[in-house]
Amino acid sequence: MAMTEDQIRNPEKTLVEPTYSKWDKDRLMQFTPNEFMQKLYHRAKNIGDDLYDDRGYEFITLEPEAYKSALILYMRRRAWSEWYFGTVAQAREITLLPESQVNLKLRLARQIQDEMRHYDVFAQQLRRYGAEPRISEFELPPILIQMQKVQVEAQTASEIAAANQFAGEIVLSSMTDLETSIFKRLFDKELMDAIYDIEKDEPPHIANGRDLILLECETFEDRRRLAEAQEKYLGYMMQLHVTEIVKLGCKRIKPVPIFE
C-alpha cells in the first residue's frame, strides 16, 4: 500500500505495520508457530488502538438529526456484521474443520450463540432510536462487500479466522480496553454499556482465532496465506471504520495505519 501525501509529510504520526505476506521464506519462517500467531495478534491490536484513539481526531458538532442518522446507520451495519461475520463465517469454520477437532467446533458453536446475542443487543439499541435492523434490507456499502469477499474466498477455517476472529474481533476489542477510545465520547452511556457487555464475550472468540491460526501455520505457504487474508480484511476495515467515525462527528487528523 503506497503512502499518501499526508503520511509522507507526517511519518512520525503514521502507524506502519509489516506486510508479512510479502516477506521471503527465510524471514517469515524465523518465527515459531506461536511467535507468528503473536505477530498477527499484535498487528491487529496495534491497528485497533490507533484507529480508535481519540487523540487522532478533532470533534465536529453535528445537528442532532444528522448525528442520529449516522448512529442508526452505524448500528445497522454492526447488527449486520454480528449476524454475518459472527455466524456465517463461524459456521463455515465448523464445516471446514476435520472431525477430530470436536472441542474447537463446540467452541465455535458457542461463539455463534454469543454473536446472535450481540445482534439482539444492537437490535435493541436501534429500537431505542426508533429504527429496526432489518438485515435483509440493509444495503451493504461497497467496502463492506469487499470485507465479506475476503472471508467468502477463504478456503480453510484458519484463513477465515485470520480475516475474522484474528482481525475484526481483535480490532473491536480496542473499543473498550483503550482508555482514550473515541467511542467513549461519541456514544451515550446506555450504548457504551451495551458495547462493554458485548466485548465481555470477545476474549474466548479471539482465543478461537488463535487456535485456528495455530492449526495451520507450519509452512511458508500457510503463513503467507494467513497474513494476506488478515492484511486484506484489515485494510478494508480501516477504511470503513474511519469513515463511520468521521460521520459520527469527527475529523481524522492522523494518517490511517498502513502496511509496508
Predicted pLDDT of residue 8: 44
Mean pLDDT, the chain, rounded, equals 94
Q: How many CA atoms lie within 13 A of 251 on its CB side?
A: 6
Q: CA-CA distance, 60 to 92, in Å (whole number)?
A: 41
Please give the share of the chain, as a percent, with pLDDT higher than 70.
95
Mean pLDDT value of segment 40-64 = 97
Q: What would the pLDDT profile of 69-96 be if each residue is shown by its tens digit?
A: 999 999 999 999 999 999 999 999 999 9
Mean pLDDT value of segment 136-145 = 92
Q: Residue 1 above 50 pLDDT?
A: no
Element (H, E) at 1: none
Q: Binning pLDDT at 50, 70 and 90, where does residue 2 land?
A: very low
Residue with cell 482465543: 207
Q: Residue 10 above 60 pLDDT?
A: no
Q: Residue 49 above 80 pLDDT?
A: yes
Angle of the 102-128 helix axis to the 89-96 helix axis, nearest 10: 170
Domains and CATH numbers, the chain: 35-252 (1.20.910.10)
Predicted pLDDT of residue 255: 96
* Burial group, residue 68, by CB count within 10 angstroms (0-12, 13-18, 19+): middle
Q: What would the pLDDT profile of 159-194 be if each residue is shown by its tens digit?
A: 999 999 999 999 999 999 999 999 999 999 999 999
Q: Residue 9 above 70 pLDDT?
A: no
Q: How many CA atoms lie within 13 A of 230 on its CB side?
A: 35
Percent of residues in the chain assigned helix, strand, coil, to nearest 5: 70, 5, 25
What global pTM score does this model have? 0.93
Q: 194 or 137, which is more confident?
A: 194
Helices (H) and strands (E) in the chain, counts: 13, 4
Q: Residue 12 above 60 pLDDT?
A: no
Predicted pLDDT of residue 134: 86
Mean pLDDT value of segment 15-19 = 98
Mean pLDDT value of segment 200-204 = 95
Q: Residue 131 above 90 pLDDT?
A: yes
